[in-house]
Amino acid sequence: MNALLAKYAAKLAATGLCEPGDVLMAALDDELAWSRATASGDPRRALMEEIFAGMSISALLLARPSGVYQAVMAELARQALAAGTPSITPGDCETRTFLHDLPVVDGLGNGGRGDGGLGADGVVQALRQRKGCVIMHQGQAFVAAFGTVSPEQAYVTFSSMCFACFVAYFAEHLRLARTGGLTPQRRSAFARIAALLPPDRADPPDLLPGPFEDEDAARAAIIQAGRHTVEYGLVDSYFGNISYRLPSNGPGKRSETILISQTGSSLDELGACIDPCRMDGGSCAGITASSEYSAHKAVYEVEQAKGGARAILHGHPRFSVILSLDCERLDCPKQGECHRACDTPRAVVDAPAGLNIPIVPGEVGTGPFGLCHTLPQALTGTSAPPAGKGRGAIVYGHGLFTLGEVDFRDAFASLMDVEHFCRSEYFRRVARLAAG
pLDDT digits (tens, 9 = 90+) for 155-189: 999 999 999 999 999 999 999 999 999 999 999 99
Is residue 381 assigned to a domain?
A: yes
Question: Are 10 and 130 members of one domain?
Answer: yes
Is residue 335 assigned to a domain?
A: yes
Q: How confident is the model at residue 205 (pLDDT cuts 50, 70, 90)?
A: very high
Question: Are 172 and 312 members of one domain?
Answer: no
Is residue 223 assigned to a domain?
A: yes
Residue 251: which CATH number? 3.40.225.10
What is the Cα 147 distance to its own chain's centre? 19
Question: Are 245 and 168 members of one domain?
Answer: no
Task: With beta carbons less than 8 A apart as the criterion, state whether 260 and 215 touch.
Answer: no
Rounded CA-CA distance 25/214 in Å is: 41
pTM of the predicted structure, to 2 decimals:
0.92
Rounded CA-CA distance 396/390 in Å is: 20
Mean per-residue pLDDT over the chain, rounded: 89
Domain boundary among 160, 194, 228: 194
Question: Are 270 and 362 members of one domain?
Answer: yes
Question: Are 110 and 176 members of one domain?
Answer: yes
Q: Tell me: the pLDDT tens digits for 223-281?
A: 999 999 999 999 987 789 999 999 886 555 668 999 999 988 999 999 999 999 999 87
Domain boundary among 165, 194, 223: 194
Question: Are 293 and 171 members of one domain?
Answer: no
Please report the pLDDT score of residue 115 as a whole number: 42
Is residue 397 assigned to a domain?
A: yes
Question: Are 96 and 156 members of one domain?
Answer: yes
Question: Are 238 and 279 members of one domain?
Answer: yes
Is residue 205 assigned to a domain?
A: no
Q: Does residue 22 carry a pLDDT above 80? A: yes
Question: Are 179 and 220 members of one domain?
Answer: no
The stretch 84-100 carries a mean pLDDT of 87
Please report the pLDDT score of residue 194 as a whole number: 97
Provide the terminal-to-terminal Cα distance of the chain, rounded to the nearest Å: 56
Is residue 316 assigned to a domain?
A: yes
Question: Are 409 and 274 members of one domain?
Answer: yes
Domain boundary among 194, 229, 254: 194
Is residue 204 assigned to a domain?
A: no
220-232 in b/e form (b: 16+ CB < 10 A) is ebbbbbbbbbbeb
Query: How many domains does the chain divide into?
Result: 2
Q: Does residue 364 carry a pLDDT above 90? A: no
**Residue 333 half-sphere exposure toward CB, CA atoms < 13 A:** 0
Please report the pLDDT score of residue 385 as a whole number: 54
Q: How confident is the model at residue 116 (pLDDT cuts 50, 70, 90)?
A: very low
Question: What residues make up the domain containing 185?
Answer: 2-194
Whether the CA torsion 54, 55, 59, 64 is positive or negative: it is negative
Using DSSP's 3-state secondary structure scheme, residue 417 falls into helix
Question: Are 129 and 220 members of one domain?
Answer: no
Task: With beta carbons less than 8 A apart as the criterion, state whether 388 and 411 touch.
Answer: no
Question: Are 138 and 225 members of one domain?
Answer: no
Q: Does residue 63 carry a pLDDT above 60? A: yes
Is residue 201 assigned to a domain?
A: no
Please report the pLDDT score of residue 37 as a whole number: 78
Closest C-alpha to 92, from 152, 147, 172, 155:
172
